[in-house]
C-alpha cells in the first residue's frame, strides 16, 4: 500500500484539430510498476505529461494524493521523478553542478552519500565533474536518472526508459525500477517488450483498454 495515489479520470486531449485520446482512465494506488504502451503517435508522452501535471488535459481530471490528501500543485514537483528523451540538462555545467543547482532550486537538500551512491550506480562517478556538453547521449540519459532520483520522489515517470542506453545501462535501469517499485510507484511509457515485461499492468493507448499482465 503506497502512501501516494494517482487518479486520472476521463482524460481527453485535443491538440488544435487532432484528437489524441478520449476518456482514458488510469489510477495507481499500490507500489509497483505500471506500463503505458501504444504505437508511435498514440500519445504516450502526452498522456505521461498530463498525469505528471506538466500539461493540462482538454477534459478530465488528474488528482495526486499523498496520505489521502490532495497535493498542492505548487508543491507537487518534489514528489515526482521524471525521465524522458526530450528532457534537457544544462550543457555548460558539469553533471554534479547540474544536480546541485536542481536540488537547490527544488529547495531540498541531499546527502553527499546519496549523490555518490547514485553516480556509482549509473556508472558516472568518474565523469561527474565533466561538462555535460561532452557527454554522450547514453551518459546524458543516465544523468537524467540521477536527476530523477536524487530527491527521493514518491512516484516515478519514465518515458522510453532505455532509449540511448547500452545493455549495461539497460540493466542498471531495470534494477533501479525494481528497487524503486518496492516502496514507490513507477510508471513506464514504452514500446519495448523488455521494458513492458517489468510491468504488472499495461495501459494500451490505441485501444484505450487496460491490459493486465503476469
By CB under 8 A, name the binding residues for other proteins: 14-19, 52, 54-56, 73-75, 77, 80, 82, 86-93, 97, 101-102, 104-107
- Closest to other proteins by CB, 7 vs 77, is 77
Dist CA 190 CA 36 (whole Å): 6
Cβ of residue 153: shortest distance to other proteins, in angstroms?
A: 10
Provide, rounded to whole angstroms, the least separation between the CB of residue 33 and other proteins. Answer: 21
Listing from the earlier edge strand, what are the strands of the sheet with 155-159? 80-83, 155-159, 185-189, 32-37, 201-204, 209-212
Question: Cell 522510453, residue?
Answer: 160
Nearer to other proteins, 36 or 50 (CB): 50
Write 112-117 long-range contacts (CB < 8 A, 24+).
114/150, 114/152, 115/146, 115/150
- In the complex, the smallest distance separating the C-beta of residue 92 from other proteins, rounded to whole angstroms, is 5
| Residue (19 or 197) nearer to other proteins, CB | 19
Minimum distance from residue 49 beta carbon to other proteins (Å): 8
- Report the C-alpha gap between 14 and 59 in whole angstroms: 9
Based on CB atoms, which residue is closest to other proteins, 106 or 120? 106
CB of 183 to other proteins, least distance (A): 21
Residue 138 · residue 185 · CB < 8 Å: no
Instruction: Output the CA torsion sign for 86, 160, 131, 180.
Output: positive
Query: Is 102 or 117 the residue whose CB approaches other proteins more closely?
Result: 102
Amino acid at each position: 500500500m503506497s502512501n501516494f495515489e494517482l487518479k486520472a479520470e476521463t482524460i481527453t486531449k485535443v491538440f488544435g484539430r487532432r484528437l489524441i485520446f478520449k476518456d482514458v482512465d488510469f489510477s495507481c494506488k499500490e507500489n509497483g510498476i505500471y506500463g503505458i504502451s501504444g504505437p508511435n503517435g498514440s500519445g504516450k508522452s502526452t498522456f505521461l505529461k498530463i498525469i505528471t501535471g506538466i500539461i493540462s488535459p482538454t477534459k478530465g481530471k488528474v488528482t495526486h494524493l499523498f496520505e489521502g490528501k490532495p497535493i498542492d500543485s505548487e508543491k507537487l514537483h518534489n514528489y515526482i521523478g521524471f525521465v524522458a528523451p526530450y528532457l534537457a540538462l544544462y550543457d555548460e555545467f558539469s553533471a554534479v553542478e547540474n544536480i546541485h543547482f536542481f536540488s537547490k532550486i527544488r529547495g531540498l537538500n541531499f546527502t553527499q552519500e546519496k549523490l555518490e551512491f547514485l553516480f556509482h550506480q549509473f556508472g558516472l562517478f568518474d565523469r561527474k565533474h565533466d561538462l555535460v556538453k561532452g557527454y554522450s547521449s547514453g551518459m546524458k540519459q543516465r544523468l537524467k536518472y540521477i536527476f530523477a532520483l536524487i530527491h527521493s520522489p514518491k512516484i516515478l515517470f519514465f518515458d522510453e526508459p532505455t532509449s540511448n542506453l547500452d545493455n549495461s545501462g539497460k540493466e542498471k535501469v531495470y534494477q533501479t525500477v525494481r528497487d524503486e517499485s518496492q516502496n514507490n510507484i513507477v510508471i513506464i511509457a514504452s514500446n519495448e517488450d523488455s521494458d513492458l515485461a517489468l510491468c504488472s499492468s499495461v495501459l494500451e493507448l490505441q485501444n484505450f483498454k487496460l491490459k493486465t499482465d503476469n
